[in-house]
């Protein structure tokens, strides 16, 4: 028998993962209730409004992330090609030529999907939404002024801009 105990009282990676999971669930619950609802955006501080926009995908960052990823991967491929050139000259030369070309093709395909997405979003913004039917009296109701003309979202009287699409209230 060993004189050392078989039980370890130190932190295991799984226990740290469990703590992170619990803290993440608490943070997600707070974000879902206090920050993410669209009707609470006007009450938030400017920093919290940016967090609100980030988690509600108001700003689209994939184009910049894709460009940075392309630059990093191309630089890494060129460095690897130079290293490979010292070991195996023919393979290194092929890698120096083909790797940036293939990475550029992959980047262009990804950017093509992003540009299609942005064009479709722009077309959707420009499409006219059907106006609600007027009342029997012929006048439009006051509820029409509380609905965004662009996206159809309900607006509170204090909002000058639609919290969903950002268009100015008419």
Look at residue 27 in the predicted model and tell me its pLDDT.
93
Burial of 19 (0-12, 13-18, 19+ CB in 10 A): exposed
Identify the pLDDT of residue 74.
96
Q: What is the pLDDT of residue 137?
A: 52
What are the structure tokens assigned to 130, written together? 């059907």
The pLDDT, as a whole number, for residue 21 is 92
Pick from 166, 143, 156, 131: which is nearest to 56 by CA?
Answer: 166
Q: Average pLDDT for consecutive 10-residue bins of the chain (170 residues)?
A: 66 78 93 88 88 82 90 96 93 95 95 90 76 53 65 76 75
Instruction: Give the pLDDT confidence score for residue 116 in this predicted structure.
Output: 92
- What pLDDT, on the 0 to 100 scale, is given for residue 8? 67
Residues 6+ apart with CB under 8 A from 61: none
Tokens of 105: 């093709």
User: What is the per-residue pLDDT for 166?
Assistant: 76
How many other CB atoms are found less than 10 A from the CB of residue 73? 15
Give me the pLDDT at residue 11, please: 66
Q: What is the pLDDT of residue 56?
A: 83
| DSSP notation for the chain | --SS-S---SPPHHHHHHHHHHHHHHHHHHIIIIIS-GGGGGGS-HHHHHHHHHHTT-S--HHHHHHHHHHHHHHHHHHHHHHHHHH-HHHHHHHHHHHHHHHHHHHHHHHHHHHHHHHHHHHHHHSPPPPPPPPTTSSPPGGGGGB-TTT--B--TT-SB-TTT-PBP-
């Amino acid at each position: 028998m060993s004189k050392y105990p078989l039980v370890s009282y130190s932190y295991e990676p799984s226990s740290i993962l469990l703590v992170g999971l619990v803290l993440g669930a608490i943070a997600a619950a707070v974000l879902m209730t206090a920050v993410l609802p669209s009707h609470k955006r006007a009450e938030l501080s400017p920093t919290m409004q940016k967090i609100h926009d980030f988690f509600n995908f108001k700003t689209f960052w994939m184009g910049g992330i894709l460009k940075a990823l392309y630059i990093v991967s191309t630089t890494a491929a060129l460095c690897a090609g130079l290293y490979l050139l010292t070991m195996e000259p023919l393979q290194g030369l092929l890698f120096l030529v083909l790797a940036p070309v293939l990475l550029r093709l992959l980047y262009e395909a990804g950017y093509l999907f992003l540009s299609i997405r942005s064009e479709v979003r722009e077309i959707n913004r420009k499409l006219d939404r059907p106006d609600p039917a007027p009342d029997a009296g012929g006048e439009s109701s006051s509820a029409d002024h509380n609905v965004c003309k662009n996206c159809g979202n309900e607006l509170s009287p204090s909002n000058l801009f639609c919290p969903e699409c950002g268009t100015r209230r008419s």
